[in-house]
């Protein structure tokens, strides 16, 4: 799951936490306590109030020693979800963003969101979409407070993130012979058609339609040179709706018709 929650009560006061492949936020509940945390080359001691929180990035390993009530909840976030939120909510390149660890911090919004999530879960029969929205809000707040998301490299409102561009280009290559449009390519990239068209042009120098047509023409040229398939079959295989459309578009782009191009091989 991209995000999940676990509640812990009445367990041993000293815990060795191994390195995890997920980030997590720990909410300290049940009353005031003293936390001692060893690991990652340092030792930290903090007196925390109920509702305070700690942030542990993926890959960090610590030994926790607690003096006081053993009562806390962990909110786990998959790094892919964090990258998605960095891109969509902060308009930043996730490769430049790092989540920063913290111990026993207090923030009214983090506390309210965390307690609200715990209350919904313990009430039973939680609404999945509602919980997902709250988890995303909690993650956004933590990233705002404990990462460089606000200061890292901006993607630019009209530039595609590298991973979205790769999704788009891979989709085009896989669907050259299908009747796809800009809306289909935008959906594959994961953003709206309106934003996608401008961002694709800004990133590649071509509109999505021009790029798609160029790839179809390039594929047709290879088939014309290296095969004896009928022109109508090549047209269909390269995603053109008819032989006449294929001939018209090929001549417009290459300046000669497909049959003349083939004759030159």
CB 42 within 8 A of CB 5: no
pLDDT computed for residue 157 by the predictor? 53
pLDDT computed for residue 160 by the predictor? 77
Residues of the chain with CATH 2.60.120.280: 3-146
The tokens for 51 are 């509702």
Dihedral of CA atoms 150, 152, 153, 156 in degrees, nearest 10, equals -10
Which residues in the chain land under pLDDT 70? Answer: 1, 125-127, 152-158
What pLDDT, in 10s, does the model give residues 95-113? 778 899 999 999 999 999 9
Residue with the two structure tokens 């806390």: 72
Superfamily of domain 3-146: Regulatory protein AraC (2.60.120.280)
Name the strand (E) or helix (H) holding 33.
strand 33-39
What pLDDT, in 10s, does the model give residues 105-150? 999 999 999 999 998 888 776 667 778 888 999 999 999 999 988 7
Question: Pairing mode, if any, of strands 62-67 and 33-39?
Answer: antiparallel
Q: What's the whole-model pTM score? A: 0.60
Q: Report the topology of domain 162-263.
A: Arc Repressor Mutant, subunit A (1.10.10)
Give rounded-to-5 percent helix, strand, coil for the chain.
Answer: 50, 20, 30
Which residues partner with 65 through β-bridges?
Answer: 14, 36
CB 170 within 8 A of CB 109: no
Residues of the chain with CATH 1.10.10.60: 162-263
Rounded CA-CA distance 46/26 in Å is 14
């Amino acid at each position: 799951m991209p995000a999940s929650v676990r509640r812990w009560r009445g367990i041993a006061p000293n815990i060795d936490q191994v390195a995890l492949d997920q980030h997590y936020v720990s909410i300290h509940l049940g009353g005031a306590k003293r936390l001692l945390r060893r690991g990652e080359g340092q030792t930290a001691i903090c007196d925390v109030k109920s509702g305070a929180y700690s942030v542990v990035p993926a890959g960090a390993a610590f030994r926790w020693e607690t003096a006081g009530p053993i009562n806390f909840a962990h909110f786990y976030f998959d790094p892919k979800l964090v990258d998605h939120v960095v891109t969509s909510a902060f308009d930043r390149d996730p490769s430049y963003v790092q989540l920063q660890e913290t111990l026993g911090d207090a923030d009214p919004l983090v506390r309210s969101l965390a307690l609200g999530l715990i209350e919904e879960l313990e009430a039973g029969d939680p609404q999945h979409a509602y919980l997902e929205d709250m988890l995303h809000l909690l993650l956004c707040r933590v990233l705002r407070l404990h990462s460089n998301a606000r200061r890292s490299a901006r993607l630019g409102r009209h530039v595609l993130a590298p991973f979205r561009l790769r999704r788009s280009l891979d989709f085009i290559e896989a669907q050259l012979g299908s009747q796809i449009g800009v809306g289909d390519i935008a959906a594959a990239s994961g953003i709206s058609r309106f934003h996608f068209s401008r961002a694709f042009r800004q990133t590649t120098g071509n509109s999505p339609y021009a790029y798609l047509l160029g790839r179809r023409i390039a594929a047709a040229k290879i088939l014309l040179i290296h095969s004896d398939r009928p022109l109508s079959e090549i047209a269909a295989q390269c995603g053109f709706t008819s032989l006449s459309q294929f001939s018209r578009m090929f001549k417009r782009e290459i300046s000669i018709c497909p049959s003349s191009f083939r004759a030159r091989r």
